[in-house]
Amino acid sequence: MSAPSATPTPPATAAPTPAQLLDFVRRSAADAELIASLPLDPEGRTWLRLEGPGGSEAWLIGWPPGTGTGWHDHAESVGAFATAAGTLKENSLAVRIPTFAWKSLELAEDLDRERELEAGEGRAFGQHHIHEVLNESAERHAVSVHAYYPPLPLIRRYSRTGPVLRLEDVEQPEDWQ
């Protein structure tokens, strides 16, 4: 009697790296038809969910003049974003912050980083990256593409007063989907 033949298991898809996410968001940001498909609202951010590579979560986001995210992180997810239209400013911290067991931290000097990303420019980031993204234009919308892996388990929101960073809220996926 012969043993039953086993069906081969398909190879697991490797998790996308930050570099692969960056490549995806840059290519998507260069897709004029995709960018034109996003309805823009003069007062609030708009977004469309996209199919990201390797099971990642991806979004096309419209930013009216003067809007931003506020300080936040993407927990254990790595990510990337690229500007498709307009200019976005990213403020970030050049330090890894403990993820739990604190409500308020006083940051040391020289931790702030600032960069502007014009159309076609993007950046990747690692886990627990704390930042805020802003469209500082007074007249022009910005549009960007974002991707995260694993899909966002949560977003921690912070307030910032000078050197003091305070944890304000923890959002779950059902809060933004």
* Residue 13 within a domain: no
Contact 94, 71 (CB under 8 A): no
Query: Residues 16-21: what's their mean pLDDT?
Result: 97
Domain that holds residue 105: 18-175
* Residue 77 within a domain: yes
Could you tell me which of 173, 146, 135 has the C-alpha nearest to residue 56? 146
CATH of the domain at 145: 2.60.120.10
Pairing of strands 164-171, 78-85: unpaired
User: What are the CA-CA distances from residue 143 to residues 6, 21, 86, 105, 134 (Å)?
Assistant: 49, 17, 7, 32, 11
- The pTM score is 0.89
For the stretch 91-138, pLDDT in tens is 999 998 888 889 999 999 999 999 999 999 999 999 989 999 999 999
* Residue 1 within a domain: no
Contact 82, 61 (CB under 8 A): no
